[in-house]
């Protein structure tokens, strides 16, 4: 690619190197390889089932250790809420306000979601706010419903002259109702964090990744909420924010893989997906890091199970971390006895359910020591896995790549579903990943790992988009819990479905878990 002076200046402002852009264009030309699945990870074969007795022990382990740990809850929260309201936009575009138009729409299955939304509208935590916003327009929620003025209701909810929900992030939307008032999603994360993310000095640390245009709003909300929650729980909160770095944006190309240029001649760069957040995570300095999406949250009445299993995952993380760090110390001290190598193998294949390829067993003792040093001297993630009941999400699999066998979270777009053998393995999968992770990112000597060293850069993917009526191809970086953590020591644990309560559409807030 030939770079103009304008290109060079643009790259400098974004913090992106020429080499990075050239590599990304090469990825467009070559494409990303599909993930090679060897088997589905299922209970006792890649996923650890936890007994009631083990649950109690792991919770005690975490409770005993948490007071000595620097703990952070890391919450990706930059996504806009606009996709939650897709069916409302479609309804508004088809409804002209007449009874005849409405009757035709209600006959179509496509608008069942909108019908459900409108007939249950007073059950949403934002209904009082919506009512007040309608009164500012000389109407009310009751009056608008009575008159069938549904476009007014939807516009007041979504547009800037009303609640502006289509342009806000999920973290600033009201999710749940209580006697004392409604709570935003971010507010529920403060409440949940008090249940399991309290570290030494009784400090609850939460870090949210947000979009730059919403940072001021988040800061304003937190400034108001923080003292209230500190008083409620008798704890101190340390709440911080970061934005996705412009240096993680990826170049867009035309269908022929030449750089896509705007009307003014500038290159088009797009956000690199949630995989870009590995850079934000890399700047978190903590002993234990919980990772959970902004929209996966419940109200107080159902929070106990979530807290319990967060402690289970973290207790297991501590147990694994302590053992593997002991291994690393011994490896670095030159321990290489047959008994020690056997211990390394037994812990990996037994406790961790780590797959080991046939090639390993043809290695000599020195090669096995090198192998285990690489496997154990790396960041650790313990991932909750729930039974698949039709929810979207990446699945747990044993995969093979140039590094051998490993446990990975794999998205459908990474799998060659036209390959009958691969499709059959996908169909054997019983669980999926709800983005429920607990991480350790320090080495055996307390030094923070550079997480960039553990990314599988071949695990990105390409999608087709358009801009200003022109087709383009976009590139996403390896996902945060997919390729960005591919070289981590990974453990999958079965947790109950009640711990997963995402809000992907506004109607999800009508589920019992959110009422």
What pTM value is reported for the model? 0.94
Are 355 and 38 in contact by the 8 Å Cβ rule? The answer is yes
143 found inside a domain: yes
128 found inside a domain: yes
What's the number of CA atoms in the CB half-sphere (13 Å) around residue 371? 21
Task: Give the pLDDT score at 389.
Answer: 78
Task: Give the pLDDT score at 111.
Answer: 87
Are 455 and 486 in contact by the 8 Å Cβ rule? The answer is yes
What's the domain range around 134? 88-167
Instruction: Quote the CA–CA distance of 350 and 347 in Å, as a whole number.
Output: 5
Instruction: Quote the CA–CA distance of 69 and 202 in Å, as a whole number.
Output: 10
320 found inside a domain: no
Per run of 10 residues, the mean pLDDT along the chain (length 515 residues) is: 92 95 95 94 95 96 96 92 92 88 85 92 96 95 93 96 94 95 96 95 96 94 96 96 94 95 94 94 97 94 94 98 98 97 96 94 96 97 90 82 94 91 93 93 97 95 90 94 96 94 94 90
122 found inside a domain: yes
Task: Give the pLDDT score at 391.
Answer: 62
Task: Give the pLDDT score at 392.
Answer: 57
Q: Using the 8-state DSSP alphabet, how is residue 324 labeled?
A: H
Instruction: Quote the CA–CA distance of 191 and 177 in Å, as a whole number.
Output: 14
175 found inside a domain: no
Domains: count for the chain: 1
Cβ density class 274-292: b for 16+ within 10 Å, e for less: bbbbbbbbeebebbbbbbb
107 found inside a domain: yes
Are 311 and 331 in contact by the 8 Å Cβ rule? The answer is no
Where are the extended beta strands (E) located within 393-444?
A: 395-401, 404-410, 431-432, 436-440
Alpha helix positions (H), 297-454: 303-332, 338-346, 365-376, 420-427
Q: Using the 8-state DSSP alphabet, how is residue 438 labeled?
A: E
Give the number of other CB atoms < 10 A from CB of residue 109: 6
Are 291 and 437 in contact by the 8 Å Cβ rule? The answer is yes
Residue 383, helix vs strand vs coil: strand
Q: Which two tokens stand for residue 147?
A: 């008159």
């Amino acid at each position: 690619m030939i770079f103009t002076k304008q290109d060079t200046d643009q790259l400098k402002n974004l913090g992106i190197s020429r080499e990075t852009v050239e590599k990304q264009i090469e990825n467009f030309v070559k494409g990303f390889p599909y993930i090679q699945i060897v088997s589905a990870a299922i209970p006792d074969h890649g996923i650890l089932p936890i007994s009631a007795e083990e649950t109690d022990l792991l919770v005690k382990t975490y409770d005993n250790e948490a007071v000595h740990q620097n703990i952070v809850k890391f919450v990706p929260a930059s996504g806009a809420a606009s996709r939650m309201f897709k069916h409302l936009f479609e309804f508004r575009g088809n409804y002209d306000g007449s009874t005849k138009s409405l009757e035709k729409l209600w006959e179509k299955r496509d608008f069942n979601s909108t019908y459900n939304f409108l007939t249950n509208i007073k059950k949403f935590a934002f209904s009082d706010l919506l009512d007040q916003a309608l009164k500012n327009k000389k109407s009310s929620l009751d009056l608008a419903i009575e008159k069938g003025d549904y476009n007014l209701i939807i516009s007041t909810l979504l547009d800037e002259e009303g609640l502006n929900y289509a342009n806000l992030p999920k973290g600033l939307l009201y999710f749940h109702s209580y006697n004392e008032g409604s709570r935003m999603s971010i507010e529920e994360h403060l409440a949940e964090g008090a249940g399991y993310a309290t570290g030494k000095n009784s400090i609850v640390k939460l870090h949210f990744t947000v979009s730059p245009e919403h940072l001021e709003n988040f800061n304003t909300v937190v400034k108001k909420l923080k003292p209230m929650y500190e008083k409620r729980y008798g704890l101190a909160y340390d709440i911080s924010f970061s934005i996705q770095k412009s240096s993680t944006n990826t170049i867009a190309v035309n269908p022929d893989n030449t750089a896509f240029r705007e009307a003014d001649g500038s290159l088009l760069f797009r956000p690199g997906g949630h995989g870009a957040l590995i850079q934000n995570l890399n700047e978190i300095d903590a002993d234990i890091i919980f990772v959970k999406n902004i929209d996966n949250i419940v109200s107080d009445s159902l929070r106990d199970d979530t807290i319990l299993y967060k402690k289970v995952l973290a207790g297991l993380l501590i147990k694994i971390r302590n053992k593997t760090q002991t291994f690393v110390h011994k490896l670095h001290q030159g321990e290489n006895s047959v008994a020690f190598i056997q211990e390394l193998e037994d812990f990996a294949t037994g406790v961790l359910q780590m797959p080991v390829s046939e090639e390993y067993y043809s290695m000599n003792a020195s090669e096995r020591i090198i192998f285990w040093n690489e496997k154990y001297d790396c960041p650790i993630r313990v991932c909750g896995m729930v039974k698949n009941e039709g929810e979207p999400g990446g699945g747990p699999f044993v995969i093979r790549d140039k590094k051998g066998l490993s446990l990975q979270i794999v998205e459908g777009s990474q799998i060659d579903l036209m390959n009958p053998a691969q499709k059959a393995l996908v169909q054997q999968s019983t669980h999926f990943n709800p983005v429920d992770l607990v991480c350790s990112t320090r080495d055996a000597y307390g030094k923070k790992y550079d997480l960039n060293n553990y990314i599988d850069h071949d695990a990105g993917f390409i999608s087709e988009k358009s801009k200003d009526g022109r087709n383009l191809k976009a590139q996403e970086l390896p996902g945060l819990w997919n390729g960005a953590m591919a070289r981590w020591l990974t453990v999958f644990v079965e947790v109950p479905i009640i711990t997963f309560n995402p809000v992907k559409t506004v109607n999800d807030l009508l589920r019992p878990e959110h009422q």
